[in-house]
Structure 1
Amino acid sequence: MKYTTRPQAILLLADGTIFHGKSIGISGTTFGEVCFNTGMTGYQEIFTDPSYFGQIMVATNPHIGNYGVNTNEVESDAIKISGLVCKNFSFNHSRPDSESNLYDYFEKQNLVCISDVDTRALVSYIRDNGAQNAVISTDGTSIEELKKQLANVPDMKGLELASTVSTKKPYYFGEETATYKIAALDLGIKRNILRNLAHRDCYIKIFPYNASFQELQAFNPNGYFLSNGPGDPEPLTGVQAVAREILNSNKPLFGICLGHQIIALANGISTYKMFNGHRGINHPVMNVLTGKGEITSQNHGFAVNREELENHPDLEITHYHINDNTVAGMQMKSKDCFSVQYHPEASPGPHDSSYLFDTFIELLKK
């Protein structure tokens, strides 16, 4: 098999630090911002999450590929990460309902992966030194050449990526006879968000990221949704303008992750790039409204300015991250509008926060 002889490979960080490993057998070079996810399961959902577009994923779970892949566990139409770094790559899998192994899945989509890396040391280094661009090379390209190429990779700050993962034309999800109609702006939407809405008697029309408010309004929806997605929210000025028009329409608006940040920017509240983002399925969040804690699935490298939010006359914090007190949720006082920084649809992750979809339905009923 192809993995019997495995060439040496490297991960080169923008600051010049090098981590050594082995190729899983797919030759090439790939660039992106290196980040890590602490989830112990759900790797296929992570790899296909559009919010990870442009990022090299470091898996903290030491075993990747051990349960194979299944087409029911994808969050988009293809792998979205730029590359994978892991400790042990499993070429064999043991789950009965797996459809294939992870290597074949990667080979079909030409995803470059480096394994046999000391991921504990790598994650510690990223935590201490912050997120930065990196390159995986499994084809023997020289260090000096990789450094030259890496220097030309744009930083995530200021990078607009929603256009690269958004649908090119509108499409529908759910039953046309459903009680509620939702106009969703696709900034990198996950399929499980659509499943959660459809499960709650919603018929959703999904629009490209650059759709106008008039296009969304023509669907005559009961409410609007702004999705998750990759990149910096600040360059998405057109989406921010659409969010303001939605708010002026006085219909319910729900935002998740990037959509949450867009709603903040639409209200004059700034966002910032985090030193290290939140990526995993065990992040603790406090619900200010109920006083209860929630374990959540998170994936973001940008956040909403908490001080500005606390001083805003029409917005209030509804959730905050217990580890670092960053804003995890907010709502408007004068509008039926709320948003969260994390992922209530999970996939992967716990379902503590799935009630947020029910909250949205209650607003639609009004």
Structure 2
Amino acid sequence: MKAYLILEDGTVFPGKRIGADRDVISEIVFNTTMAGYPEILTDPSYAGQAVCMTYPLIGNYGVCLDDLESERPWPDALIVRELARVPSNFRSDLSLGKFMERYDLPGIEGVDTRKLTRLLREKGTMNGMITSREITDMEELLPRLRAYSCGRVVERVSCREKYVLPGSRTLADNGPISGSAAFDGESYRQPDEEGAVRHERKPSLVRELTGQRDGAPLRIALMDFGTKRNIAQCLAARGCDVTIYPALTPAEELLADRPDGIMLSNGPGDPKECVSIIREVRKLYDSGLPIFAICLGHQLMALATGADTYKLKYGHRGGNHPVKDLETGRVYISSQNHGYAVDTASLDPAVAVPAFSNVNDGTNEGLRYVRKSIFTVQFHPEACAGPQDTEFMFDRFFTMVKERANNA
């Protein structure tokens, strides 16, 4: 079936309908990762957006339901150059096309995604419509496209009531901690059997679960602004008990449960629209508890402490974004998904200082809060999909939590 992607500037991309057969208006964004589409489609941060995948063939390994980051897909639509109909992967449960049909997710294939991405980079993110109808009155349609807004989507994607994810009690429960958490981040030189020297990662000297203290699990409160499953799993895999709270939970209710630390999750939309949430985040800041925040949580903490945010021209969405640790000078490769950034010029240096920056464009990628056990990052250290270079930050967080617990 023929389909069309119509942008708010009047550009029309012809293609073929995939997934659900219904029209949709959304904000059009692009993601540069070559793989990881199941995780992208089930990331709540994409609520209110239609995702264009820049890699030309999507769906070739199908969808493994164990890899999903939430119970359902959240983007409004998927835009691809070519959809693979026959997946080739022993873990695949169903094809991407069948997955889209099952969850009523519309999409379009056959689009020149290279041209579309270049257009969004030149003009900035635009709204658009995917439809199977030939539009005869563009003058009537284009104002509707320009007026679209995803609105307050955090409440829509957050959980409805709090629940608990128990942590591992021993390392053997979950096997070794995955990714960079199993290493100290340094490399060493070791000769192989032929005597040649190769570079390997040095095993960590840590032999205990970082989320436990004296064998007892630490209690972490995770604010769900649109959290990905793997954030809670990264916390639980380190031995702590994780309680996940709805986005509108009052700070007093969360603090009454006496957590040892607080995690602020990723999420969708404009952070400035989360007015009531920002007030509660300020109370969490004043609580004195250790806090680690990711993506939207990073932006909300900045707003709660007097800084400002702004919308990027086309955002950062992909799995190969370099970020620089401003203290050590080291560069890490990160997974990112955001359309807004913290304005470092608005920071009060007595409150927070930049900790990471984006190597590509210099935008802020993290903050360290002065005289507080709080640090926040714009990128996704839990990855999925993406590099796990910065997963060690969860261990950094637990070091802060233990220090406070020991001194309490």
Please say whether Structure 1 and Structure 2 have the same fold, judged by a TM-score greater than 0.5. Answer: yes
1:153 aligns with 2:148: yes
- Structure 1 match to 2:275: 237
Partners of 2:363 and 2:393 in 1: CA distance = 19
Aligned match of 1:36 in 30, 44, 62? 30
1:1-366 mapped onto 2 (5 Å cutoff): 7-24=1-18, 26-140=20-134, 142=136, 144=138, 146-147=141-142, 149-154=144-149, 159-175=151-167, 179-309=217-347, 311-366=348-403
Cα displacement string for residues 26-52 of structure 1 (whole angstroms, at most 9, x for unaligned residues): 321111110000001100000010000
Partners of 1:97 and 1:35 in 2: CA distance = 29
Q: Which residue identity lines up with residue 164 of structure 2 in the other structure?
A: Y
Gaps of 5+ in 2: 170-215, 404-408
Partners of 1:142 and 1:206 in 2: CA distance = 48
Q: Which residue identity lines up with residue 229 of structure 2 in the other structure?
A: R
Give the secondary structure class of the aligned counterpart of 2:252. helix
Gaps of 5+ in 1: 1-6
Asked if structure 1 preserves the Cα contact closer than 8 Å seen for 2:319 and 2:335, the reply is yes
Q: Which moved further from structure 2: 26-35 or 274-283?
A: 26-35
Give the secondary structure class of the aligned counterpart of 2:272. coil
| 1:138 CA drift (Å) | 2.6
Asked if structure 2 preserves the Cα contact closer than 8 Å seen for 1:160 and 1:233, the reply is no
Give the secondary structure class of the aligned counterpart of 2:269. coil
Q: Which residue identity lines up with residue 76 of structure 2 in the other structure?
A: S
Change (3 A) 1:289 1:148: closer
Q: Choose 1 or 2 for highest CA Rg.
A: 2
| 1:147 CA drift (Å) | 3.6
| 1:174 CA drift (Å) | 2.3
Asked if structure 1 preserves the Cα contact closer than 8 Å seen for 2:4 and 2:131, the reply is yes
Cα displacement string for residues 105-153 of structure 1 (whole angstroms, at most 9, x for unaligned residues): 1001111111011110110000000001111113556554644643442
Change (3 A) 1:175 1:200: closer
Change (3 A) 1:207 1:25: closer
Q: Which residue identity lines up with residue 55 of structure 1 in the other structure?
A: Q
Task: Please give the root-mean-square deviation of Cα atoms over the aligned residues, in Å.
Answer: 1.5
Partners of 2:257 and 2:86 in 1: CA distance = 47
Partners of 1:341 and 1:74 in 2: CA distance = 22
| 1:316 CA drift (Å) | 1.0
Cα displacement string for residues 199-238 of structure 1 (whole angstroms, at most 9, x for unaligned residues): 1111111111110011111221001111100001112122
Change (3 A) 1:217 1:11: same
Partners of 1:23 and 1:142 in 2: CA distance = 19
Partners of 1:298 and 1:197 in 2: CA distance = 19
Q: Which moved further from structure 2: 22-31 or 128-137?
A: 22-31
Cα displacement string for residues 57-85 of structure 1 (whole angstroms, at most 9, x for unaligned residues): 00001111110001111111100110011
Partners of 2:229 and 2:60 in 1: CA distance = 24
Partners of 1:111 and 1:146 in 2: CA distance = 22
Give the secondary structure class of the aligned counterpart of 1:24. strand
Change (3 A) 1:28 1:248: same
TM-score normalised per structure 2: 0.84
Cα displacement string for residues 182-212 of structure 1 (whole angstroms, at most 9, x for unaligned residues): 1111100000001100011111111111100
Q: 4+ residue stretches of structure 1 with deviation over 6 A?
A: none
| 1:16 CA drift (Å) | 1.3
Give the secondary structure class of the aligned counterpart of 1:344. coil
Change (3 A) 1:185 1:25: closer
Asked if structure 2 preserves the Cα contact closer than 8 Å seen for 1:93 and 1:101, the reply is yes
Partners of 1:143 and 1:74 in 2: CA distance = 40
Q: Which residue identity lines up with residue 7 of structure 2 in the other structure?
A: L
TM-score normalised per structure 1: 0.94
